[in-house]
Each structure stands twice: as structure tokens, then as C-alpha cells.
Amino acid sequence: MAQAKDLTLAIERYDRHFPFFDGTVTPPEGYNLKVFQVGQSSDLRDGIDRHGRMLHGEEFDVAEFSMSTFLMAKGRNMPIAGVPIFPRRLFSQSQMWVHPDSDFWHPKDLVGKKVALSSFQTTLSLLAKGDMKFHYEVPWEDIHWLLTTDEKVQFNVKEGVKLDFIGNRADLGKMLENREIDAFFLPHPPHSVVTGETPARRLFADCKAEELDYFETVGDFPIMHVVAIRQSLLDSDPNIAKEVFRMFNDSKALAETFYEDPNWSRLAWGRHYFEEERNLFVRDPWENGFGRNKANLERFIKYSHDQGLIEEIYAPDKLFAENTLDT
């Protein structure tokens, strides 16, 4: 009998991933599944985060991966493949922050202003800029962008775009308080803002209503992360992509049963929130698969091309292992 091979998996510990960590997900036949909790930016090795460790170091067989960086990598034919699993999603509207005393209430109010981002290519940055232009009709090119993080894949900045690197992401709360910046768009607000030490509010007065309207208009919950596989592993075992797809969907299904216990979450009304969200969204916003998410992917590819991150618009089929395109 052949000895089982290790299959290394790097993911964050979201509720939908708990079954990987407690061993209730069945690994592919012939593999020992080795799961590593590796944060997006908190678990650095030699200054490189999970996405960089997967892309440049091939440190893992399978990893949760930045959607934007993945689009750039595939546009440059780098040795990485995808599985249509999307373990992290965010609406852009809740991630736009301004000073509470400002008179900014809509993306149009930020034209000509200084707005801080993580990196230019971070998926939330890509989404927010794209939504501004194509959903709110506010050209992202008319804003002065300030970056706090180095880019993972190099690109040429579009001519005429005002872009400066400032670093010091932890200081953005103070910079907003002191009016050195007018806004920041981040998936993780600075600690000083989260704790209330420095004042900030979301740009939209009613983000929840704005995001529900967005969902009903565009038809999806925007993708932040995709699951990536080393191309060399896929070449040696083409069926591994289907097995990874199966594992993540098994984990998602198991995680949904957690909420049958009204006290599973530390939120006193966790079950109420779960029921409310299920009633508000006419479709499962977390549904995986290529067909269900094709329009979502096409929108991101359009945004990426418009922002100069990829040279040409390509079909979303290019992103994934061929045997997962029927999902």
C-alpha cells in the first residue's frame, strides 16, 4: 500500500474553516491533511505574508489567497491555479471610513481628497475603487491615494494617477483625527479606531441598506479571497482540485450547523443575526462554484484591467483548474 502524501493547507480560522482544524473534514484519498492557521498579514515570515509565501515561496500546497493578487498572477502566467472556493467576502461600503465631523456621505464627496489604502492592489482597494467608478460613477482617478503596504506583484501605475506611499498603517486613525487624510478604505481598520481611541465613522449613513441594495443590483457578495493550488501539484494530480473543492464545501456545510445552537456564538443575539441575514439575502451570499460566481469574477477582472493591474481582460475560465469549471 502506497504511503500517504502530505497535503499542506494554509487558511485563516474563520467559522467556516473550523471543521478543518477539528479534523471533521475528510482529506483526499492518499493524502494526510496538514492544516496551518496562517493569517493574511499577522503571520509574516521574512517579512512576507501568506499570499506572498504561497506565490513566491511555494510554501504551501493549497492556500487561501488574495483575489486581486491572484488575478495579477494569472495575467502574468505565474505557476498557480485556482479552485472556485471563496472563503472571504466583503462589501466595500462598510470599509470606507471618514472623520465623524466631516461632511462626506457619498463617494462623490471624496473627489480630490486624500484617501489611504493598504496596497493599491489589495482586493478591498481594487473593489472599492472599482465600485466608486462603475457603481457610483465617481472616477477613482480623481482621488489622491496614499498606500501603507508594499505591493505583492509589480505593475505600472496609470498615467496621471496620484499615488504616494506613506506606510504607518497603525497611525491612520491619528492621521484622520488630525485631518492629514480625509478617509481610509481598509478591511481591517486601525486598532485605535476599533477601540474608539480615535474617532471615525463609516462613509455611508446606513451601510447595511446600501450593501443590500448593492447585492440586489449586482447579484453577489464581492469576493475577497480565492483558494489557490500550486500548479506543480495540480499537474501531478489533476483530481486534487475537485477534492479541495469538496473539502471546503464540506467544511462550509458543517459550519452552518454550528448556528443551530443559539449560544454557539459569543454574540447574545448571534442566532437572531443568522436568521435575519438568511431572510434578507434571497440567495446564499457564500455559495461557491464557478457558475454562480462567474459574473462576480468578470467584474473583478474588469476592475483590475481598468486600474492597470492586468494588461488585458481575459475570460474567468483561465483562473481555475479545468475540472472545476462545471461547478
pLDDT band at 227 (very low <50, low <70, confident <90, very high): very high
pLDDT beyond 60 at 45: no
| Stretch 156-174: mean pLDDT | 90
Rounded distance between C-alpha atoms, residue 164 and residue 285, angstroms: 35
Q: Residues spanned by CATH 3.40.190.10 within the chain?
A: 5-90+222-324, 93-218
| Stretch 257-279: mean pLDDT | 94
Rounded distance between C-alpha atoms, residue 184 and residue 70, angstroms: 24
- Angle, in degrees to the nearest 10, between helices 67-75 and 290-306: 70
β-pair type (183-185, 96-98): antiparallel
Options 2.40.50.140, 3.90.650.10, 3.40.50.2020, 3.40.190.10; which CATH number does 5-90+222-324 get? Answer: 3.40.190.10
pLDDT of residue 10: 94
Does domain 93-218 fall into CATH 3.40.50.2000? no
pLDDT of residue 12: 93
pLDDT beyond 80 at 42: no
| Stretch 306-315: mean pLDDT | 96
- Angle, in degrees to the nearest 10, between helices 123-134 and 67-75: 90
pLDDT beyond 80 at 234: yes
pLDDT of residue 57: 59
pLDDT of residue 85: 98
pLDDT of residue 66: 92
pLDDT digits (tens, 9 = 90+) for 98-116: 999 999 999 999 999 999 9
Rounded distance between C-alpha atoms, residue 201 and residue 166, angstroms: 22
pLDDT band at 152 (very low <50, low <70, confident <90, very high): confident
pLDDT band at 47 (very low <50, low <70, confident <90, very high): very low
More confident residue, 69 or 152: 69
Averaged pLDDT of the chain: 93
Q: How far is CA 110 from the centre of its chain?
A: 23
